[in-house]
């Protein structure tokens, strides 16, 4: 590559040029000043040559690398590091321009600073992807200048690489079962009163105040001459499935993220909680047919298997066929399971068309439909603008009311449902799961 393509003019050069130009203009009117202008021009040329020699005194100049994980977490801040090493024997000023993936839509990324001779520095920044897929990082362009600052040398650091963006795996630890139970008040977990017990017996123990009197073991009580009760534990290794609707209704965006991506992130975190609770986690998607089925298992590799399956899910913009969903579940999931159905209903009419199939699924399994509150409509109703008219507010209130009626209609047919804000999806889903487990309803 021609040398000229690696050289850029610095600010001192332009200031010097302006001074020389002013001197020549003055010399036109005052001839005795021409010699001064010539001396300034000679001095600038000399400094430029010295600066040129300094900047190319080292063949490498600066070197560096981009340090980033082999995969990024969707919709989470991901740390990226740039390690820069100065091979010059003098302090340099640098300006780094990253060629970031087009998905970020960041075109003015620039990091500036100074670095002493024969030294290195690690720079950090964060990127927040908002869609899954392959992200292509380009090179890092370093523009360096010597203390003179007349010229800048462009050095291209070969840092090209491709990174995959997966569902939000960084939140797996934050929403682990242990942390979730340890911070109930912080993240909105409800305290659940245990109304019953499962059928898995653990031991016989002394009765203490608060124990369910229905669990009193009368034979052990007569033998020990004191009240004894049977202690039960939540039944383990139950099948828990996340069913994700990937039809066109799930492409609705909230806060820069579609309902489908909210559901995918939540399904991964929820599956991790299920596995930590010793149940079997599985997933599948549907629209025109059931797809991406990961059978419910409790293996060490299950969360990785679920993550890989969720990575490639995208909407096909079709109308979701609940009839085929009912038939597929009937033939492919024969054991009674808890099925959390991530979908969305905007009106009672849309619910009534699918209600017979939901009732049918709920007969053989415990079905929990999860759909979303329209937070933008709610904000519009709570904070109306001067331009909004009565008709718009009335229609918005009607849609909000219908969402609540959908929950009541599902409850009337014996189907529990979750109506949640998109940002509260994960917390409310885990809450419901723990509530169901505490009541031994599966």
Please report, for the domain that includes residue 35, its CATH number: 2.60.40.10
Average pLDDT, the chain: 84
For residues 123 and 257, membership in a common domain is answered with no
CATH of the domain at 293: 3.40.50.410
What letters, b where the CB count within 10 A reaches 16 and e where it falls short, cover 243-253? bbbbbebbebe
pLDDT band of 21, cuts 50, 70, 90: low
For residues 15 and 421, which has the higher predicted lDDT (pLDDT)? 421
For residues 290 and 308, membership in a common domain is answered with yes
Considering only CA atoms, which of 199, 442, 194 is closest in space to residue 339? 442
For the segment 91-100, the average pLDDT, to the nearest whole number, is: 94
- Beta carbons within 10 angstroms of residue 406's beta carbon: 22
For residues 432 and 310, membership in a common domain is answered with yes
For residues 280 and 423, membership in a common domain is answered with yes
pLDDT, tens digit (0-9, with 9 covering 90-100), for 254-297:
888 899 999 999 999 999 999 998 899 999 999 988 999 999 99
User: Total structural domains in the chain?
Assistant: 3
DSSP string, 101-155: -GGG------EEEEE-TT-EEEEEEEE---S-EEEEE--EEEEEE-SS-SEEEEE
pLDDT at 162: 93
Q: Could you say which DSSP state residue 217 is in?
A: -
For residues 316 and 428, membership in a common domain is answered with yes
For residues 223 and 305, membership in a common domain is answered with no
Hey, what are 407's tokens? 């929950």
For residues 295 and 393, membership in a common domain is answered with yes
For residues 361 and 330, membership in a common domain is answered with yes
For residues 405 and 424, membership in a common domain is answered with yes
Residue 211 has pLDDT above 50, yes or no: yes
Range of the domain at 301: 171-193+235-439
Residue 196 has pLDDT above 70, yes or no: no
Q: What is the pTM of this model?
A: 0.76
* Secondary structure (3-state) at 186: helix
For residues 206 and 239, membership in a common domain is answered with no
Hey, what are 260's tokens? 């489908």
For the segment 125-130, the average pLDDT, to the nearest whole number, is: 93
**CA pseudo-torsion sign 269, 270, 273, 275:** negative
For residues 353 and 264, membership in a common domain is answered with yes
For the segment 304-323, the average pLDDT, to the nearest whole number, is: 89
For residues 365 and 273, membership in a common domain is answered with yes
pLDDT at 20: 53
For the segment 18-27, the average pLDDT, to the nearest whole number, is: 53
The region of weakest confidence among 332-346, 355-369, 382-396 is 382-396
C-alpha separations of 431 from 182, 184, 299, 436 in Å: 13, 10, 23, 9
Label residue 48 left, alpha or beta by phi (over 0 means left) and psi (-120 to 50 means alpha). Answer: alpha
Residue 232 has pLDDT above 70, yes or no: no
Judged on CB neighbours under 10 Å (0-12, 13-18, 19+), 173 is exposed
Give Cα 132 to chain centroid, integer Å. 9
Residue 193 has pLDDT above 50, yes or no: no
Considering only CA atoms, which of 294, 241, 285 is closest in space to residue 260? 285
């Amino acid at each position: 590559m021609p040398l000229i393509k690696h050289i850029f003019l610095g600010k001192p050069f332009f200031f010097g040029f302006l001074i020389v130009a002013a001197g020549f203009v003055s010399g036109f009117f005052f001839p005795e000043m021409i010699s001064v202008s010539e001396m300034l021009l000679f001095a600038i040329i000399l400094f430029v040559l010295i600066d040129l020699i300094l900047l190319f005194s080292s063949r490498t100049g600066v070197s560096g690398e981009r340090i980033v994980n082999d995969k990024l977490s969707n919709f989470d801040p991901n740390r990226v590091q740039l390690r820069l090493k100065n091979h010059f024997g003098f302090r340099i000023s640098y300006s780094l321009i990253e060629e970031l993936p087009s998905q970020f839509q960041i075109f003015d990324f620039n990091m500036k600073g100074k670095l002493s001779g024969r030294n290195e520095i690690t720079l950090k920044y964060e990127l927040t992807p908002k869609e899954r897929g392959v992200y292509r990082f380009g090179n890092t362009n370093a523009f360096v200048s010597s203390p003179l600052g007349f010229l800048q040398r462009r050095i291209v650091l070969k840092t090209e690489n491709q990174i995959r963006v997966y569902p939000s795996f960084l939140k797996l630890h934050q929403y682990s079962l242990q942390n979730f139970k340890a911070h109930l008040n912080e993240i909105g977990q409800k305290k659940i009163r245990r109304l019953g017990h499962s059928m898995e017996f653990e031991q016989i123990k002394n009765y203490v105040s608060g124990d369910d009197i229905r669990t009193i073991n009368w034979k052990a009580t007569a033998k020990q001459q004191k009240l004894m009760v049977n202690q039960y534990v939540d039944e383990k290794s139950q099948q828990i499935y996340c069913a994700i609707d990937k039809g066109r209704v799930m492409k609705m965006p909230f806060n820069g993220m579609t309902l489908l991506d909210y559901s995918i992130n939540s399904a991964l975190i929820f599956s991790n909680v299920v596995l930590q609770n010793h149940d079997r986690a599985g997933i599948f998607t549907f629209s025109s047919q059931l797809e991406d089925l990961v059978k419910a298992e409790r293996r060490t590799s299950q969360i990785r298997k679920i993550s890989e399956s969720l990575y490639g899910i995208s909407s096909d913009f079709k109308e979701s066929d609940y009839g085929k969903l009912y038939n597929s579940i009937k033939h492919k999931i024969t054991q009674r399971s808890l099925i959390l159905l991530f979908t969305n209903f905007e009106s009672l009419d849309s619910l009534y068309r699918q209600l017979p199939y939901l009732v049918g699924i709920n007969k053989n399994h415990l079905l929990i439909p999860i759909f979303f509150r329209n937070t933008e409509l709610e904000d519009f109703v709570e904070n109306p603008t001067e331009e909004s008219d009565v008709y718009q507010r009335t229609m918005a209130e009607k849609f909000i009311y219908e969402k609540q009626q959908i929950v009541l209609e599902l409850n009337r047919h014996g189907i529990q449902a979750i109506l949640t804000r998109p940002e509260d999806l994960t917390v409310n889903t885990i809450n419901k799961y723990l509530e169901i487990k505490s009541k031994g309803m599966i």
